């Protein structure tokens, strides 16, 4: 709200909001589209959805207002060795930290109704997200109207077991993940359809899974003391 007030005061009319696919909660479809009903199940998802609402409400006070909400799942990789993912909640840094500390990474549940029994999620490279954010800003600067929301997703996703295998392969650290009980609230599969963003925002998956892991691992090693 403070940012939107400041934009109004500064006479800035274009707004690209980094939202999240967590606004969908646990959808009952294999691929979420922008038309999939929202139903966040966490404070994080709720605040993202409220942020979208606030952006939409700005049209009532600013007739020049243009905005779009970019929704995505798990951001991974690094666009520069100078920056690496330090979040204690994201899968890549959690696994990297465990391996560097000599601990065994964990998989929470291997009995989900997926091909290998582990949860399937969208993993998208941070550099690809940056390109589409810039594309959205340029589109609005040129006066083009965009959809209210866009999903930035792979369309098929990767399982947690596949991520673990890729990390072992790329880092050269051989390990067998420990299988822990399921975590409450983890859906079996959430994957986003990115067709609309591909059409309007130059969205595409430019990195393979191994390349995503490789860029993240290289940046992490650059900061390893």
Catalytically active residues, by annotation: 44
What CA–CA distance (Å, rounded) separates 99 from 135? 37
What 3-state class would DSSP assign to 37? coil
10 Å CB burial of residue 121 (0-12, 13-18, 19+) is buried
Find the largest Cα–Cα distance for the chain. 58
Is the separation of the CB atoms in 207 and 130 below 8 Å?
no
What CA–CA distance (Å, rounded) separates 106 from 104? 6
């Amino acid at each position: 709200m403070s940012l939107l007030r400041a934009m109004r005061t500064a006479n800035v009319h274009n707004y690209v909001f980094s939202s999240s696919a967590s606004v969908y909660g646990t959808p009952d479809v294999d691929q979420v589209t922008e038309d999939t009903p929202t139903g966040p199940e966490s404070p994080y998802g709720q605040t993202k959805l409220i942020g979208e609402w606030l952006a939409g409400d700005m049209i009532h006070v600013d007739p020049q207002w243009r905005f779009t909400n970019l929704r995505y799942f798990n951001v991974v990789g690094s666009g520069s060795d100078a920056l690496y993912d330090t979040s204690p909640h994201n899968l890549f840094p959690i696994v990297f930290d465990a391996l560097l500390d000599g601990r065994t990474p964990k998989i929470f549940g291997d009995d989900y109704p997926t091909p290998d029994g582990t949860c399937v999620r969208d993993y998208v490279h941070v550099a690809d997200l940056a390109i589409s954010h810039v594309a959205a800003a340029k589109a609005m600067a040129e006066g083009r109207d965009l959809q209210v929301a866009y999903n930035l997703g792979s369309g098929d996703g990767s399982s947690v077991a596949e991520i673990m295998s890729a990390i072992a392969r790329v880092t050269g650290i051989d390990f067998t993940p420990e299988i822990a009980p399921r975590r409450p609230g983890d859906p079996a599969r959430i994957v986003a359809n990115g067709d609309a963003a591909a059409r309007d925002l130059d969205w595409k998956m430019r990195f393979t899974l191994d390349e995503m892991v490789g860029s993240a691992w290289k940046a992490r090693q650059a900061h390893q003391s």
